[in-house]
Structure formats: structure tokens, C-alpha cells
């Protein structure tokens, strides 16, 4: 079967490097490419289903297919009213909300002995819920002629600048128009339907958790995407074309040696111009698509260690906003977004984590001229995503051993808001 290997560079870098390395000049010029031809013919890589993967069938089955899993539980009194699909998602770890909704629509869920097929059905304290998880529907990735910004390419890998609003790989609700579909077309590969994509279809809301994706990759029959950017996040990804490149980049990812820098625009300015946030992150029990910072000792199954370093690059609009650089020591789902909210500076445009237009305008209104407010309001209304961009990427080339580094400035939506905020006042930090 023909397939490809896709991998985003590791977000993290060693703590020592984070402490000693200077901040990246914002926005640097063209990416540096050392020791590579500018254009090399693509090579199609063929892999058979038995060529790689974990032979532990039981462990693989547990990770890939939850079909037939049953939940029988009574809704706790303290929760109040809650959507049925949301409540079930909070009770079963590792299964996507889309899978839960499919189970409900397939009439595999009952409340107080009565079958319910409406995902938005409200459950309340004392309701007895019975749920059987439906079969996992395999996903097929079709090649699509989608414009891609290829920052660098050789016969072993390519680096892509992902635009905002593009999903990395097919998942329930996003079967086409993804980066995977575009890469299949770019590399002249046929339709792909692999178990690794099936795994990811069941984990699509775990969007950038490095450990989850690395583990899933090793457990599946064939390697697949082991890390990705959120749909709304723009910026740099590296894609491996052969098995050696995939394995080598995966190792760098796991060892936190790949250099990755993010930048964001925030609502408000952090109290300290730079710092380290060491607060565990876990899934919000009331909203499965959202993570939350959970202070205190880590309780198994509730949260995982997460550490982020940030540095304010510019204070904007008299303190109503800031341009912030992020470097991550871990790669938890929505880590920057959850940590930014925890310290009181949610990202502009991040409705899920409190970075609403109303919050942004309330913090900006006392600090900027009224004449500027309407134009900024219009820009924020059209944003539709968190102002977060994967700015810089550096790694060791898996075949040559050369250190290569790339950077790309934020896209027009991010840059437009930044430009307006700078006009309202900008202070370098």
C-alpha cells in the first residue's frame, strides 16, 4: 500500500537551551537552507502493512478500536443539566466526541431505559445512562489539488507553511480539504486508507499532544501523523517522505531537540514580561474540546505535566494587548492556549479559551482613541481563529546530519491586527 509519513517538528527544546538562547528577531528573513539542492524530484515510498509497527496485538486493539465498549453510569447530582454527548465524552477517555455522537445517532445509547438518538439531549442528576460505542468508521484520504506553500523540499522531506483554518488530516467532519489531501496530490500518491488514519480519526480532538501521537504512531500498523497544528494555528510543519526520515524526525521530536518558536497576540499583557508556567493540563470535564490548567499535585487520569516559557516581545495599544513569544517544554493539547488563559491573557480570537472580541475590546477601549476602535473591531470580527503562529522551525536533517532552520511571518489576518495595534502604541520589551 502506498502511504506517506507526516510529522510536525517538535515544539519543545531542552530547558538549558530555552534559558540561554536569545529571542528570535521578529520577523526574520528568508529561511536558511544549508547543504541541500533547491529542487529534487519526488520519490514515492511504498510500505507494506507488515513492514513496521508494534506486534503487541492487545495493546494495539485497545488504542485503535473501542467498538463495543460499554458505559453504564448515573449522572452525578453536582453536574446539573448537561448535553448527553458532552457528558459521555467526559466519562470515557480517549474517544472523540464525533465517535460518541455517532454512537448516539446509531441508537446505541439509552437514558433511564429509553433509547435516545439526539446528541443534544440534556441529562440531569440521577439519570441512568447506558452507552455502547459504535464501530470506528475508516477514513479515506483522497488526493486533492490544494495550493500549498512549500518552504523547502528535497527527496527525503518537505517543510510546509500551513495556512490558518486548514485541518492537518481527515477526521469526522473534515473528510477533505486537509493538508494530507494536498500532500497526497503534491507527491502524486493515490488514495490512502490506513489504520494510522483510523487511529487519528478517533483522536481528532487531541490536536497537538506529542506523547499521544507518538504512542499512537508506534502502536499502529503503519506510521502516520505523529504531531500536528490545530486547525486555527498557522505556521511551519515538516513532512517526512521515507521511513528513515520519519523515524529520525520522530526521535528528535520525542527527545525535544527540534527547535520550534510560536508567536501570539494576547488580550492584555502578562504581569511579568517573561516567565515559566509549570501547571498541569487536563481535559475540561464540562467541555471536551477544551483543556484546562489544573494547579496542584497531578492526579492520575485528570491532568498531565505541562511547562511553557513565554517572553513579551512588544506591548501594544498602551497595554491592551501584547506580542508574545512561546517555547514549550512539553507538547500538550492546546498547551499555549490553556496556559495563556491561566495567566489571564487569552489569545485574541480564541473564543474557546476566553479570548473573545468583547474581552479584547473591553481591554483596549480605555487605551486607544475611539476612532480606532471600529476598525479594530472589524478586524477582530473577521479573525475566526486564535492569533497563534508557528514562526520558526529548526531540526537535524535525517539523512545529511545538517542543522537547518526555517521561518515564516504570520499570515495576513494576524499581521493586519498586529499592524493596527502597533499604530495605537508599541513598546519594545
User: How many angstroms separate the CA atoms of 241 and 309, rounded?
Assistant: 32
Helix (H) or strand (E) holding 377: helix 370-381
pLDDT at 196: 38
What whole-number distance in Å separates Cα of residue 2 and Cα of residue 45?
7
Give the range with max mean pLDDT: 25-29, 31-35, 191-195, 331-335.
Answer: 331-335
Q: At residue 192, does pLDDT exceed 50? A: yes
Structural element, H or E, at residue 181: helix 179-186
Task: Look at phi and psi of residue 207 and say left if phi exceeds 0, alpha if psi is from -120 to 50, else beta.
Answer: alpha
Angle at 399 between CA 396 and CA 400, to 5 degrees: 70
Of 230, 293, 221, 240, give the one whose Cα is nearest residue 262.
230
Give residue 411's pLDDT band: very low, low, confident or very high (50, 70, 90): very high
Q: Which of 230, 242, 350, 413 is catalytic?
A: 230
- Kindly give, in sequence order, each residue whose CB lies less than 8 Å from that of residue 337, ignoring residues fewer than 6 positions away: 291, 346, 347, 350, 352, 353, 386, 388
Query: Mean of the per-residue pLDDT values for the chain?
Result: 77
The whole-number average pLDDT for the span 261-284 is 96
The residue among 372 and 418 whose pLDDT is bigger is 418
Query: 230-254, pLDDT tens digit by residue?
Result: 999 999 998 888 778 887 887 888 7
Pairing state between β 388-396 and 234-240: parallel
Provide the strand spans (E) within 136-228. 150-153, 157-162
255's CB contacts (< 8 A; 6+ apart) are 10
Q: CA–CA separation, 418 vs 264, rounded Å?
A: 10
Is the pLDDT at 201 greater than 60, yes or no? no
Structural element, H or E, at residue 307: strand 307-316
The answer to whether 127 is a known catalytic residue is no
SS3 of residue 222 by DSSP: coil
pLDDT tier for residue 373 given thresholds of 50, 70 and 90: confident
* Tens digits of residue pLDDT in 288-314: 789 999 998 887 667 899 999 999 999
Condensed to tens digits (0 to 9), the pLDDT of residues 62-120 reads 344 678 889 999 998 776 678 998 899 888 876 777 788 889 999 999 999 999 999 88
* pLDDT tier for residue 173 given thresholds of 50, 70 and 90: low
Q: How far is CA 182 from the centre of its chain?
A: 18
- Residue with more model confidence, 331 or 107: 107
Is 264 in a helix, a strand, or coil?
A: strand
CB 261 within 8 A of CB 313: no
Under DSSP, the state recorded for 235 is E
Residues above pLDDT 90, as percent of the chain: 45
Q: How many residues does the chain have?
A: 429
108 phi and psi, to 5 degrees?
A: -105, 10
**So what's the pLDDT on residue 152?**
95
Amino acid at each position: 500500500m502506498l502511504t506517506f509519513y507526516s510529522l510536525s517538528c517538535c515544539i519543545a527544546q531542552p530547558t538549558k537551551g530555552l534559558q540561554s538562547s536569545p529571542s528570535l528577531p521578529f520577523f526574520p528573513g528568508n529561511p536558511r537552507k544549508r547543504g541541500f539542492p533547491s529542487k529534487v524530484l519526488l520519490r514515492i515510498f511504498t510500505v507494506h502493512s507488515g513492514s513496521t509497527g508494534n506486534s503487541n496485538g492487545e495493546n494495539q486493539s485497545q488504542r485503535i478500536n473501542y467498538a463495543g465498549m460499554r458505559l453504564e453510569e448515573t449522572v452525578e447530582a453536582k453536574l446539573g443539566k448537561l448535553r448527553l454527548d458532552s457528558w459521555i465524552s467526559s466519562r470515557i477517555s480517549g474517544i472523540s466526541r464525533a465517535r460518541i455522537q455517532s454512537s448516539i445517532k446509531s441508537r446505541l445509547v439509552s437514558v433511564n431505559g429509553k433509547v435516545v438518538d439526539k446528541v443534544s439531549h440534556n441529562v440531569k442528576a440521577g439519570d441512568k445512562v447506558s452507552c455502547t460505542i459504535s464501530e470506528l468508521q475508516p477514513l479515506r484520504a483522497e488526493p486533492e489539488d490544494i495550493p500549498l506553500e512549500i518552504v523547502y523540499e528535497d527527496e527525503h522531506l518537505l517543510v510546509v507553511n500551513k495556512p490558518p483554518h486548514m485541518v492537518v488530516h481527515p477526521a469526522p467532519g473534515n473528510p477533505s480539504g486537509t493538508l494530507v489531501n494536498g500532500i497526497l496530490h503534491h507527491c502524486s500518491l493515490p488514495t490512502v486508507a490506513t489504520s494510522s488514519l483510523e487511529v487519528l480519526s478517533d483522536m481528532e480532538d487531541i490536536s497537538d499532544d506529542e506523547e499521544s501521537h507518538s504512542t499512537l504512531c508506534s502502536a499502529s500498523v503503519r506510521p502516520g501523523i505523529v504531531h500536528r497544528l490545530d486547525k486555527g494555528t498557522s505556521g511551519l510543519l515538516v513532512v517526512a517522505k521515507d521511513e528513515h526520515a520519519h523515524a529520525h524526525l520522530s526521535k528528535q521530536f520525542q527527545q525535544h531537540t527540534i527547535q520550534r518558536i510560536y508567536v501570539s497576540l494576547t488580550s492584555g499583557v502578562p504581569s511579568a514580561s517573561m516567565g515559566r508556567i509549570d501547571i498541569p493540563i487536563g481535559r475540561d470535564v464540562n467541555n471536551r474540546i477544551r483543556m484546562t490548567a489544573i494547579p496542584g499535585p497531578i492526579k492520575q487520569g485528570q491532568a498531565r505535566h505541562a511547562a511553557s516559557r513565554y517572553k513579551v516581545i512588544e506591548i501594544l495599544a498602551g497595554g491592551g494587548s501584547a506580542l508574545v513569544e512561546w517555547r514549550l517544554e512539553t507538547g500538550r493539547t492546546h498547551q499555549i492556549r490553556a496556559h495563556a488563559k491561566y495567566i489571564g491573557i487569552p489569545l485574541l480570537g480564541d473564543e474557546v479559551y476566553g479570548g473573545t472580541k468583547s474581552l479584547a475590546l473591553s481591554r483596549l477601549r480605555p487605551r486607544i482613541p475611539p476612532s480606532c476602535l471600529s476598525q479594530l473591531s472589524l478586524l477582530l470580527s473577521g479573525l475566526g481563529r486564535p492569533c497563534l503562529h508557528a514562526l520558526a522551525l529548526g531540526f537535524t536533517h535525517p539523512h545529511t546530519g545538517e542543522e537547518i532552520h526555517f521561518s515564516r511571518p504570520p499570515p495576513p489576518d494576524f499581521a493586519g491586527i498586529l499592524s493596527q495595534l502597533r499604530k495605537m502604541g508599541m513598546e519594545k520589551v
